[in-house]
């Protein structure tokens, strides 16, 4: 079970209670929250003046590959049939950034770009579709 974000109002009340002299443990017990939460909220209040919760969920990692977007798109323009693995190797070799091919695929997918399967796979798939069905017994219902 994932923890839910508690309201900013509750955070402010806990901080105010501690600032008025209550211990973090006592404030946590009074407001029905974990001691660790009270400690974190007070630390954030003292260090940053922050009472709001931190952002949750969402994509926090794509900024790394987005920074190399021009390089990726330029490589595709220069060599239309470049593979995802080749793009990953290029990024590592020329920029020192390691990305999985799936990360590069998601980058391209966000832009509506796609890579087709290689020619050998397309030929094999076509041959399989043309061959007669196997394992079927005539007259069976």
The arithmetic mean of pLDDT across residues 8-18, rounded, is 94
Containing 77, the helix (H) or strand (E) segment is: helix 69-78
Residue 27 in contact with residue 17, Cβ under 8 Å? yes
Give the DSSP letter string of 86-123: HHHHHHHHHH-----HHHHHHHHHHTT---PPPHHHHH
Q: How far apart are CA 139 and CA 34, in angstroms?
A: 69
For the chain, give every domain's residue range. Answer: 8-48, 63-117
The arithmetic mean of pLDDT across residues 50-71, rounded, is 85
> Of residues 79 and 139, which shows the higher confidence score?
79
pLDDT greater than 70 at residue 2: no
pLDDT greater than 70 at residue 86: yes
pLDDT greater than 90 at residue 11: yes
State the pTM of this model. 0.48
Mean pLDDT of the chain: 83
Q: What are phi and psi of 83, to 5 degrees?
A: -90, 165
């Amino acid at each position: 079970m994932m923890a839910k974000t508690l309201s900013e109002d509750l955070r402010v009340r806990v901080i105010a209670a501690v600032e008025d002299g209550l211990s973090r443990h006592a404030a946590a017990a009074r407001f029905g929250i974990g001691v660790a939460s009270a400690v974190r909220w007070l630390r954030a209040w003292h260090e940053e003046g922050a009472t709001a919760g931190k952002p949750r969920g969402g994509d926090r990692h794509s900024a790394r590959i987005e920074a190399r977007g021009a390089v990726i798109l330029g490589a595709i323009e220069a060599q239309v049939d470049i593979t995802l693995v080749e793009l990953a190797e290029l990024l590592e070799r020329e920029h020192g950034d390691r990305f999985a091919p799936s990360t590069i695929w998601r980058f391209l997918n966000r832009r509506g770009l796609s890579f087709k399967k290689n020619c050998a796979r397309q030929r094999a798939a076509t041959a399989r579709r043309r061959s007669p069905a196997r394992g079927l017994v005539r007259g069976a219902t």
